A and B are shown apart, each in its own frame.
Chain A
Amino acid sequence: MPRRGGAASEEVEIEIDSDVSDNEDGATQKGTNRRQAAGRGGAKGRGRSKKTDSDEEDEEEDEAPRGRRGANNRRPAKKRGGGGKKDEDESEDEAPKKKRGGAANKKRGGKAQDSDGEDSDAGKGKKGKKGGGKKGGKEEQDGKGKKGDAKGKDKGKDKGKDKDDDKDKKKKKKKDDSSSDSNSNSEEEDSMSEGEMARLMEEVEEKKKLIANMRNKPWRMNRRLMLLKEAQEFVDKFEGALGKGKGRKWYAYKVMMTKKWIKFKRDFENFRTACIPWESKIKEVESHFGSSVASYFIFLRWMYGMNLVLFGLTFGLVVIPEVLMGLPYGSIPRKTVPRAEQATAQDYSVLMDFNGYCKYSVLFYGYYNNQRTVGLLKFRLPLSYLLVGIGTFGYSLMLVIRTMAKNADVGGGDGDEGEFTFAWKMFTSWDYLIGNAETADNKYASITTSFKESIVDEQENQKDENIHLRRFLRVLANFLITCSLGGSGYLIYFVVKRSQEFAARDDLSWYEKNELELIMSLLGLVCPPLFETIAELEDYHPRIALKWQLGRIFALFLGNLYTFLFALFDEVNSKLEEEDSIKNASIWAMKEYYANYTRLINDTESTPPPMNPGDVIRGPCWETAVGIEFVKLTVSDIQVTYLTILIGDFARAVIVRFLNYCWCWDLEAGFPSYGEFDISGNVLGLVFNQGMIWMGAFYAPGLVGINVLRLLSSMYYQCWAVMATNVPHERVFKASKSNNFYMGLLLLILFLSLLPVVYTIMTLPPSFDCGPFSGKSKMFDVIMETIALDLPSFIGTIFSYAANPGLIIPAVLLMVLAIYYLNSTSEAYQNANNELKKKMQMARDEEKNRRNNTNSTNQVMKDLEDLLPNRSLAPPAPPGQKYPEQQLKTPEPDAKATKTKAGSAAKGVNLQKDVSLASPNPNARGPVSRPPGPRGPGPGPGPGAGPGRGRGRGPPPR
């Protein structure tokens, strides 16, 4: 402490010296400034501010707390002294800028006095409030008394200094109870930290003063009003903190509640993160296998979420109402197993084929009755069934598109990457709060993985060999793959045609019967590895290679889908024919029955024939058949997937691991090795599975439930499998941040699966004796019926108008136009974005180059170069304005030196003040005060910077 005090007084001496040697000319002005600084005892920088500059505002605000702290004894006296000096500097700087004439000086002086008065008043008031500080108050008064005296500057300064020293002493005697100041200090600590308190107090004072001074400021009226309002609000809000009694308590309460609220929010955030399902599982996988594998699991989780909503819709609005309010099992034919099947209806093999009791259950379309309303609530089940079927697609489409749009948004934002990648990873990747061995292991793994990912990216960036060869190879690879895709497409087409021929015949060999399935699975087995091999030619980054691979296999699987749908439609058509004949026959039988009944009993009431519902002749119900087809497919897909993992990955891993002890070659490093996680296969499996769900959900409401179970179990199962049996990819690569490619595939599949469903709903007649739409000629007739029966008639009229082609065609046209417009706008934005990115990159590179090319190690020189681009004859003024900032960096002694100099500068004529603008930094002064042409060897004084160079050329260098 003593040391610092000493240093401070030294400065003060220098100060005084320079002041004393001031010319009369500058004295008035200097005086006011000086006194101001002194009178500011309570550390106010407001009074002098006449500047409209908002920079100035900022600085003041920064200064203020420092000063306040000084008053609060938080800072050593030395710092306080330095701060005071800087204030002076600034006021000096201002002076020449603003007003030059003597009159202006006077005016300014007067104003400064005004604000001085305010300063000390405010300061006094504050002291009083703080409950104590008699001394402080007295000092303030002293300072005030001196105010009128223009020559009192030195004394004022001394006063300020004294006061600081006093306060230091007081601080040391803090524990002394006789000092009232210390009392108030310790009181403060009760409610909030000292620094907080001090800062608040400072700000409130500042705002108060601002309110008082508002009239004198040369601001525009609306700015004044704005600031006034702001300041008043602030004072209202925080004055309580400084007062005593009620306001203070209220404030303490508020602060406490705010803190509690913040804590609660943080806890809630944590809780929310903990609620994200499987987050930790996925993170664990990511840390070991990289973001590409994790992207699959994230996709799986997203899919699960979507299916959960679909499940909720279907079960909440269709299945559960039917179970609760519909007719019970066995009441009508469609809800009863036919007598012929009843014997085997409970057999395991039959149930596994979803026949027997499964077929006549809520799982399938045929079970639902065509009553318009069910239960007491008059729930319109058929309508609800249709709307849920359409809503499933609507919701899925919306969700997929929204997610894609959101991801695209995220993808655009990361322009800053690629700068200091490795340095950042090295310096900042460890999490210093890890205290758990397992977490630490995961962190190690994830750091390693992320380094590997970066290495792959880097290798990819540096690759620039023969571009023509590469292009040629890529074209070749695409050609080959197109050929093989075309070939397999033709093969599928051929086989399907053949199988249609075979269908008419009876004498088929085993091969001929199963030809289609065999060919399909063979293609599925051979083609993906073939594509992968061909893709090696292309030598893409693995991330892009994965996309290509996905796209190609997707195209191949489309053939699969095509054959499946083809077979299905064949089946549906034959069923429709069969149904037609049964329908006619049963209608005829009914007519006969009723005719005979009325003739025999002579009763016109139409009593239904007394038949057991199991014995009624019924149609084939093609909807249920389709539903069963899809459910079977899904279930077999699940089985195949799980078995593949169990055998292909787990068994292989077990064999490799344990047989390795007794084998002739190294199994782990050699041929079989451990499996890698097959991202493309799994993603496509998921996407196609979802397509099956979308297509089948309308005919088998239970399918959605099965799918939810599947996704849930496969999340756990695959997480386990990948951690237990797989090894990371040889080239771990970073997945793109958005899963948009997966989403794109999903969207395509969604669209493809939408087509057949909509086609069947709109064109095929529903079965006459099963399902919610039986008895109608088209399924969507249920909507017409609702409009006609349940809604007021004018809505029907509106619908009929809306369905008018005259309205629909313009609407479609409008939409097309809107799409076109939005598309071109987004392209324009994209271009602008790219331009800007390029520019930023260029600016960065340029700066780096510039820094590399200069051999100067002088930081100040470098900064100067930044300020004076091109070394042109830029006017010295703009760089000058930056100096206050630069001053931040200069160490203490420099500032001191500046001070002395600035003082001596004041000896000169007023005009010289122009220069003092730029002078606070002595190092910087040289170059700037001279014409910034060819620079001298260093920041030192140039030879030509003599006094004779003309006005504004700067004072003689020291």
Chain B
Amino acid sequence: MGSRGSSMNNVPNAEELMQETGFSAAHLLRLHERFEFLDRDNRGHLSPEDFEAVREVAMNPIGGRIICSFFPPGQETLDFPSFVRILAHFRPTEKHRARDGAQSEPANSRTGKLKFAFQLYDLDRDGKISRAELLQVLRAMMGIQVTEEQLQSIAERAIQEADLDKDDAISFDEFRKSLEKVNIEHKMSIRFLE
């Protein structure tokens, strides 16, 4: 207990973060360790290059987008609180979630998770996934193995499927609708070790 208490002191703003994100102290400590591990130069903040060193991200076709989603526009560094706030999206959804509208959605709710996923595809952050954005993702996923024409028809088709208001782009609501049956709560949850 003593050691935990002392190491807890290393984590800046631990109390506030815990309240805001719902992580427990042990989680936070673990995340801090990870943060420091990623931050190889001990600068106290992370840069995009630090993320590129993670193999899982580097392999990912939309790895770049994932990294971008950690950084707010126009910002090149990421400090620990923001890091934790973003990872809060991946906290498993509580079963007995408070079901009142009186509070803002927590980051780990279904909507929160979906919003995060949505941002990965919404390159220009205009709240809509346009055809061009889809094409870009498709190209990253399939590359040269499929003809450009086919890629375009896939993108076209995907938009057709999800687009309910016929504006030729997928808005967040449509995105949510189309992934209604996917178990996002489960898929976008990480079991943070304690």
Query: Within the assembled complex, what's the spacing in Å between the Cα atoms of A186 and B18?
Result: 14
Given contacts A65-B96, A448-B142, A455-B150, contact A193 B24 (CB under 8 A): yes
Q: Known: A74-B19, A195-B94, A432-B56. Is A189-B103 also a contact (CB below 8 A)? A: no
- Determine the distance from Cα of A419 to Cα of B182 in the docked complex, in whole angstroms: 12
A447 pairs with B59, CB closer than 8 A: no
Is there contact, CB below 8 Å, between A83 and B161? Answer: no
Asked if B11 is an interface residue, CB under 8 A from chain A, the answer is: no
B38-64 contacts to A, CB under 8 A, are: 55-56, 59-62
Q: How far is the CB of A156 from chain B (nearest CB, A)?
A: 20
B103 touches A892 (CB 8 A): yes
B112 interface hit (Cβ, 8 Å): no
B59 touches A85 (CB 8 A): no
Q: How far is the CB of B132 from chain A (nearest CB, A)?
A: 14
Please state if B22 and A74 are interface contacts (CB–CB under 8 Å).
yes
A887-B94 in contact (CB<8A): no
Interface-forming stretch among B68-76, B77-85, B162-170? B162-170
A455 x B100 contact (CB < 8 A): no
Cβ of B3 under 8 Å from chain A: no
CB–CB B142/A444 < 8 A: yes
- A895 contacts chain B at the CB level, 8 A cutoff: yes
Identity of the chain A residue whose Cβ is nearest the Cβ of B117 in the assembled complex: A427
Contacts of A895 in B (CB 8 A): 100-102
The residues of B that contact A326 with a CB separation of less than 8 Å are none
Residues of A within 8 Å of B, CB-based: how many? 71
In the complex, which of the residues A66, A420, A889, A890 contacts B162, with contact meaning CB atoms closer than 8 Å?
Answer: A420
Instruction: List the A side residues contacting B145 at CB < 8 Å.
Output: 444-445, 448
Name the B residues within 8 Å of A896 (CB-CB). 102
Question: Do B19 and A76 have beta carbons less than 8 Å apart?
Answer: yes
A195 to chain B, nearest CB (A): 7
What's the minimum C-beta distance from A269 to chain B, rounded to whole angstroms? 15
Nearest opposing residue in chain A for B182, CB measure: A428
Contact pick for B146, options A171, A426, A451, CB 8 Å: A451
Residue numbers in B under 8 Å from A451 (CB-CB)? 142, 146, 154
In the complex, the answer to whether A427 meets B121 with C-beta atoms within 8 Å is yes
Contacts of A171 in B (CB 8 A): 15, 19
Provide the bound-state CA to CA distance between A256 and B59, in Å. Answer: 36
Select which of B98, B103, B158, B165 is within 8 A of A423 by beta carbon.
B158
Contact with A66, one of B56, B100, B121, B178 (Cβ below 8 angstroms) = B100
Taking CB atoms, residues of chain B closer than 8 Å to A427 are 117, 121, 175, 178-179
Query: Which residues B7-22 have CB closer than 8 A to chain A?
Result: 15-16, 19, 22
Task: Specify the chain A residue showing the minimal Cβ separation from B27.
Answer: A193
Partner of A430, one of B24, B62, B154: B62
B25 CB–A CB distance under 8 Å: yes
In the complex the two chains form, is B56's CB within 8 Å of A434's CB? yes
Given A61-B96, A427-B117, A852-B164: A172 and B15 interface contact (C-beta under 8 Å): yes
CB proximity of A207 to chain B, nearest CB, Å: 14
Residues facing A in B134-180 (CB within 8 A) are 134, 137-138, 141-143, 145-146, 150, 153-154, 157-158, 161-162, 164-166, 170, 173, 175, 178-179
Question: Is the CB of B194 closer than 8 A to any CB of chain A?
Answer: yes
Q: Report if B99 contacts A (CB, 8 A).
A: yes
Which residue of chain A has the shortest Cβ distance to B145 in the bound complex? A448
Q: Verify if A848 is at the interface (C-beta below 8 Å from B).
A: yes
**CA A912 – CA B1 in complex, angstroms?**
58
- The closest CB in chain B to the CB of A82 belongs to B102
CA distance A78 to B166 in the complex (A): 40
In the complex, how many residue pairs between chain A and chain B have their CB atoms under 8 Å apart?
A: 155
A851 sits at the interface (CB 8 A): yes
| Bound form: Cα–Cα A384–B26 in Å | 66
Q: Which of A189, A422, A852, A887 contacts B100 (CB 8 A)?
A: A887
Chain B residues with Cβ under 8 A from A82's Cβ?
Answer: 100, 102-103
Contact B104–A199 (Cβ < 8 Å): no
Tell me how far the C-beta of A181 lies from the nearest C-beta in chain B, rounded to whole angstroms. Answer: 15
A417-454 interface with B by 8 A CB criterion: 419-430, 432-437, 440, 444-445, 447-448, 451-452
Name the residue on B nearest A193 (C-beta): B24
How would residues 188 to 206 of chain A score, 1 for a CB under 8 Å from any chain B CB and 0 otherwise? 0110011100010000000
B5, B96, B142, B165 — most chain A CB neighbours (10 Å): B96
B101-147 contacts to A, CB under 8 A, are 101-104, 117, 121, 134, 137-138, 141-143, 145-146
CB <8 Å contact, A83 and B187: no
CA–CA, A65 to B98, complex, Å?
Answer: 7
Chain B: which residue is nearest A855 at the CB level?
A: B165
Q: Does B97 contact A (CB under 8 A)?
A: yes
User: Can you list, as one digit per residue, whether each of A323-337 has a CB less than 8 Å from chain B (1) or not (0)?
Assistant: 000000000000000
Contacts of A430 in B (CB 8 A): 60-62, 141
A859 CB contacts on chain B under 8 angstroms: 173
Q: Is B34 an interface residue (CB 8 A)?
A: no
Cα-based distance from A421 to B178 in the complex (angstroms): 10
User: Do the beta carbons of A428 and B101 come within 8 Å of each other?
Assistant: no
| Contact between B187 and A428, CB atoms less than 8 A apart | yes
Chain A residues with CB under 8 A of B165: 852, 857
Most A C-beta atoms less than 10 A away, residue of B100, B137, B141: B100
Are A434 and B60 in contact, with the CB atoms below 8 A?
A: yes
Chain A positions within 8 Å of B56 at CB level: 432-435
Assembled-state Cα–Cα distance A100/B146 (Å): 70
Measured CA separation A448–B144 after assembly (Å): 10
Contact with B along A144-176 (1 / 0, CB 8 A): 000000000000000000000000000110110
A25 interface residue per 8 A CB criterion: no
Q: Once bound together, how far apart are the Cα atoms of A447 and B141, in whole Å? A: 8
Interface string of A33-70 (1 = CB under 8 A from B): 00000000000000000000000000101111110010
**Least CB distance, A425 to chain B, in whole angstroms:** 8
Task: Say yes or no: B154 contacts A426, CB within 8 Å.
Answer: yes
Cβ–Cβ < 8 Å partners of A437 in chain B: 59
The reply to whether A422 and B101 form a contact with Cβ atoms under 8 Å apart is no
Q: Does B158 contact A426, Cβ atoms closer than 8 Å?
A: yes
What is the distance, in angstroms, from A177's C-beta to the closest C-beta of chain B?
A: 11
Separation of A428 and B165 alpha carbons in the complex (Å): 23
CB distance from A644 to the nearest CB of B (A): 29
B194 with A193: CB separation less than 8 A = yes
Please state if A189 and B25 are interface contacts (CB–CB under 8 Å): yes
Let me know if B55 and A62 touch, CB within 8 A. no
In the complex, the answer to whether B96 meets A174 with C-beta atoms within 8 Å is no
Q: Does A891 contact B (CB under 8 A)?
A: yes
Q: If the complex has contacts A86-B102, A429-B141, A891-B101, are A189 and B154 also in contact, measured as CB distance less than 8 A?
A: no
Q: Mark A850-862, 1 if CB is under 8 A from B, else 0.
A: 0110000101000
- Complex: A895 Cα to B99 Cα, angstroms: 13
- A571 interface contact, C-beta 8 A: no
Which one, B100, B141, B164, contacts A848 given CB within 8 A? B164
Known: A432-B56, A434-B56, A892-B102. Contact between A424 and B179, CB under 8 A?
yes
Q: Can you sample 15 A-B contacts with CB below 8 Å?
A: A62-B96, A62-B99, A65-B98, A66-B96, A75-B19, A86-B100, A174-B15, A419-B181, A422-B157, A422-B161, A423-B178, A427-B121, A448-B146, A455-B153, A852-B165
Contacts from A to B (Cβ < 8 Å): 1, 59, 61-66, 69, 74-76, 78-79, 82-83, 85-86, 171-172, 174-175, 186, 189-190, 193-195, 199, 416, 419-430, 432-437, 440, 444-445, 447-448, 451-452, 455, 458, 848, 851-852, 857, 859, 887-892, 894-896
Beyond the given A428-B182, A451-B142, A852-B164, could you list 19 further A-B residue pairs with CB under 8 A, ordered by the A residue number? A1-B16, A83-B102, A85-B102, A86-B100, A195-B94, A421-B161, A423-B179, A427-B175, A428-B179, A430-B141, A434-B60, A447-B141, A447-B142, A448-B141, A448-B146, A451-B146, A852-B166, A887-B101, A895-B102
Q: Residues of B with Cβ closer than 8 Å to A?
A: 1, 5, 15-16, 19, 22, 24-26, 55-56, 59-62, 94, 96-104, 117, 121, 134, 137-138, 141-143, 145-146, 150, 153-154, 157-158, 161-162, 164-166, 170, 173, 175, 178-179, 181-182, 187, 194
